[in-house]
Amino acid sequence: ENPETVKEFSEKIGVSLKRMEELIQSMLKITRLDTGNIVFEKRNCPVTELISRSISELTDRAKTENEQTVFCDLEWTSEAIGNIVKNALDHTKQGDTIQISWERTPAILRIFIADSGSGIAPEDIHHIFKRFYRSKHSLETPGIGLGLPLAKSIITGQNGLLSVQSELNEGTTFTVSFLTES
């Protein structure tokens, strides 16, 4: 008599069945490992491929669970964030990290691009968004000084804010902020 209730419980049963199937598969894998029936075929694997393969299903799940949205031009904003990440790559060395995260409050969505690289000298911090600006501390890194100014123009052109915090030799965090649409 109540199709909505039937649909709701059918979906819950489907989720429960999937969880049971995953549990059974995990138990079978553990049993095979415990009995020595698994032969590992080790080879040199690119770490990026390893991580990508490891989290591909989880990434899809994360996209569907509590997806955050931001009101922006997807192509241009992607280019801006890409420029910030490229800058982070240019100023990190092997073993350093780059982390991208975000948070949403009722009024604002912030995207953080943080690295544990060389950081920005205090005398340079107020100039990094100027066109063609190159710090004397980063003359050996690639680039001509347009990536960050372009990123700033893209973000501010959409009424967003691009800010930076940095400690020399400890890393840098760029924050992209957009007001949320109500």
Supply φ then ψ for residue 98, to 5 degrees: -130, 125
Task: Judge if pTM exceeds 0.75.
Answer: no
Looking at mean pLDDT, say which of 38-42, 58-62, 110-114, 134-138 comes out highest.
110-114
Supply 98's token pair: 């780059």
Q: Which residue has the higher pLDDT, 58 or 92?
A: 92
If you average pLDDT over every residue of the chain, what do you get? 83
101: CB partners within 8 A, 6+ apart: 111, 112, 114
Q: How confident is the model at residue 138 (pLDDT cuts 50, 70, 90)?
A: low
Residue-wise pLDDT tens digits, 72-100 = 888 889 888 988 988 888 888 888 888 99
